[in-house]
Amino acid sequence: MTQIILNNGVKMPIVGLGTFKIKGSELVKSSLESAVAAGYRAIDTAGVYKNEVDIGRTIKDILPRHGLTRSDIFITSKLGPKDHGKEKCRAACMKSIADLQCEYLDLYLIHWPGGQGLQPSDIKHKLLRQGSWQAMEDLYDEGKIRALGVSNYLQRHLEELLEYSRVRPVVLQVEYHPHLVQHQLVEFCKKNKITFQAYSSLGTSDPENKLLKDEVVKRIATSLCKTSAQILLRWAVQQNIGVIPKSTNNKHLQENIDIFSFSLSDDDMRSLTSLNQSQHYCWNPECVL
Distance, CA of 107 to CA of 170 (rounded, Å): 9
Distance, CA of 46 to CA of 176 (rounded, Å): 19
Q: Pairing state of beta strands 74-79 and 242-243?
A: unpaired
Distance, CA of 244 to CA of 223 (rounded, Å): 25
Bridge partners of 175? 199
Decide if 164 is catalytic.
Answer: no
Q: Are 246 and 18 in contact (CB under 8 A)?
A: yes
Run of H or E residues at 266? helix 266-273
DSSP, collapsed to helix, strand or coil, labels residue 190 as helix
Distance, CA of 177 to CA of 67 (rounded, Å): 35
Which whole-number Å values give the CA distances from 223 to 8, 217, 218, 227, 251, in the listed order? 40, 10, 9, 10, 21
Tell me whether residue 84 is annotated as binding.
no
Distance, CA of 38 to CA of 66 (rounded, Å): 11
Run of H or E residues at 22? none
DSSP 3-state helix, strand, coil percentages of the chain (rounded to 5)? 45, 15, 40
Identify the active-site residue in 49, 153, 176, 199. 49
Active-site residue list: 49
Binding-site positions read 111
* Known binding residues for substrate: 111
